[in-house]
Amino acid sequence: MRKYSKQFKLSAIQAFLDRGYGFRHVAAQFQMDPTLLRRWVVAYRTHGQASLEKTGRHYSAEFKLAVLHHKWREDLSLRATSALYNLG
């Protein structure tokens, strides 16, 4: 798995937000998967700069279960749930 720097992520996100092109177009410019760019953009819109920080956290079973219950209750996608809780 390739690791991206905070600056690279921010550059890709800003390119998408500023230029008005689609995810595929911007992702091709940065030679990356458009799905990954989409996830970064959604998280950035929700959490701002905090979404770019590496968390490296370990989550308790209770937290994981609460996230799953929220996902099911609100009928959210995995991508939306991940962005909401700022999960990798």
Where is average pLDDT lowest: 25-29, 30-34, 39-43?
39-43
Where is average pLDDT lowest: 13-17, 39-43, 65-69?
39-43
User: 33, 51, 53, 31: which is closest to 42 by C-alpha?
Assistant: 51
Q: Considering the domain boundaries, does residue 58 fall inside one?
A: yes
Q: Considering the domain boundaries, does residue 1 fall inside one?
A: no
Q: Taking 90 as the threshold, does the pLDDT of residue 55 lie above it?
A: no
Helix 6-19 with 34-47: angle, nearest 10 deg: 90
Q: Considering the domain boundaries, does residue 11 fall inside one?
A: yes
What's the 3-state SS for 61-81? HHHHHHHHHHHHHHCCCHHHH
pTM of the model: 0.69
Count of the separate structural domains present in the chain: 1
Contact between 27 and 33 under an 8 Å Cβ cutoff? The reply is yes
Q: Considering the domain boundaries, does residue 65 fall inside one?
A: yes
pLDDT band at 87; cut points 50, 70, 90:
confident
Domain that holds residue 31: 6-85
pLDDT at 2: 61
pLDDT at 50: 81
The encoded tokens of residue 63 equal 């937290």
Residue that is written with structure tokens 């219950």 in the block? 69
Residue that is written with structure tokens 């177009």 in the block? 25
